[in-house]
Amino acid sequence: MSSPTAKLPASTGNVTTRREARWLVIVRKLLSFLLVVALTFLALLAVTFFIGRVIPIDPVLSVVGDRATNEVYEAARIAMGLDRPLILQFFSYVGDVLGGDLGRSVSTNREVISDLARVFPATLEMATIGIIIGVLIGVPMGVFAASHQGSWVDHIIRMLALSGYAVPAFWLGLVGLALFYAKLGWVAGPGRMDVYLEGLIDPVSGLLLVDSLLAGDTEVFWNAVSHITLPAFILGFFALAYIARMTRSFMLDQLSQEYITTARVKGVPGWRVLWVHAFLPIRVQLITVIGLSYAGLLEGSVMIETVFSWPGIGNYLTVALLNADMNAVLGATLVIGMVFIIINKLSDVLYGLLDPRSVR
């Protein structure tokens, strides 16, 4: 006589098989993700390396100066490894980068990696506040414009979005400083904080707003808020221009679907039709848009940082270019590229989490 549990092994086997299959899919996706990141990073290394070799700047002269003798020049060239074949220089460059060595900056006489660790949090802080402003204002603007298509409100929002592409960043920064700082006095001027407050806060995270709160120093916090408000809002304006435009486009596509008409015929409240039935399906697409906008702010804040004397990676890169400091230029370019890669891949991961249909 067969046991009552005779059929359990088959059932248990099916469950185990499904669990193993699920884990195989997860592992395959993880390995694929890591492979893509590694290959992209290798391509980024190649691009930065060969750009550093083809631009008309001699890294040896930036070290020894243009008055150095030929003997000193050749000795420096050999010490820097520039006498070796290009492919060997590239392999050496890759090995140094993987070991965390980006060289020494001629401008600051410090390791580039330590310089970047010091300046990048300033850019990250400003760009993060900028993207938050862009999302909080741009998304409702796009939804509102789509729901009032063809009205004067729609035209105004579209004009604002268009101006975000047309207005130069440096011009908007200068006008903002002249109006809100010099004339109205609503915000603080250039820099990250007033000079008399510098050095009062220990850089724990590098994010001044966070560190001042951790230290309990409200004076530094509000002073930093006053300094970051204008540049962050200008960055946020450029972000919201793109986000509002794309949100409007996505919403118009959803509002033209039959299920939206059905919901309206059934008497579903207008706000629910707009924010639940139409908006929720586009949140996946918006993740990509917001991620690209955020990466764009991190890598495109050079002009804003220059205008506002903001001690971030954009300002660091500008000074390095002016001083022909190739180690600093390549290091900053590499970091910006890696940030773009990471944000882009995180957007893909969030896309998969929010849209189960993308999982294969």
**Cα–Cα distances in angstroms (integers) from residue 5 to residues 11, 14, 321, in the given order:** 10, 15, 75
* Cα 204–chain centre separation: 21
Answer for the pair 239, 126: CB distance below 8 angstroms, yes or no: no
Give the pLDDT of residue 234.
Answer: 92
Taking the C-alpha atoms of 26, 30, 31 and 37 in order, what is their torsion angle to the nearest 10 degrees?
160
Give the pLDDT of residue 11.
Answer: 53
Give the pLDDT of residue 132.
Answer: 94
Q: Provide the token pair at 115.
A: 């310089």
Give the pLDDT of residue 353.
Answer: 65
Give the pLDDT of residue 281.
Answer: 84
Answer for the pair 283, 152: CB distance below 8 angstroms, yes or no: no
Domain 112-358: homologous superfamily in CATH: MetI-like (1.10.3720.10)
**Cα–Cα distances in angstroms (integers) from residue 40 to residues 2, 35, 46, 217, 324, in the given order:** 59, 8, 10, 42, 27
Give the pLDDT of residue 49.
Answer: 81
Give the pLDDT of residue 2.
Answer: 46
Give the pLDDT of residue 222.
Answer: 93
Give the pLDDT of residue 16.
Answer: 62
- State the pTM of this model: 0.80
Written in H, E and C, the secondary structure of the chain is CCCCCCCHHHHHHHHHHHHHHHHHHHHHHHHHHHHHHHHHHHHHHHHHHHHHHHCCCCHHHHHHCCCCCHHHHHHHHHHCCCCCCHHHHHHHHHHHHHCCCCCECCCCCCEHHHHHHHHHHHHHHHHHHHHHHHHHHHHHHHHHHHHCCCCHHHHHHHHHHHHHHHCCHHHHHHHHHHHHHHHCCCCCCCCCCCHHHCCCCCCCCCCHHHHHHHHCCHHHHHHHHHHHHHHHHHHHHHHHHHHHHHHHHHHHHHHCCHHHHHHHHCCCCHHHHHHHHHCHHHHHHHHHHHHHHHHHHHHCCHHHHHHCCCCCHHHHHHHHHHCCCHHHHHHHHHHHHHHHHHHHHHHHHHHHHHCHHHCC
Per-residue pLDDT of the chain (360 residues; tens, 9 = 90+): 444 544 445 555 565 676 677 677 667 777 777 787 788 888 888 887 887 777 767 777 767 777 777 788 788 778 777 777 878 888 888 888 888 888 888 778 888 899 998 999 999 999 999 999 999 999 999 999 988 888 888 889 888 888 887 888 888 889 999 999 999 889 998 888 888 888 888 888 888 899 899 888 899 999 999 999 999 999 999 999 899 999 999 999 888 888 888 888 888 787 888 888 888 888 888 888 898 888 888 876 778 888 898 998 888 888 888 877 778 888 888 888 888 888 877 777 776 666 655 444
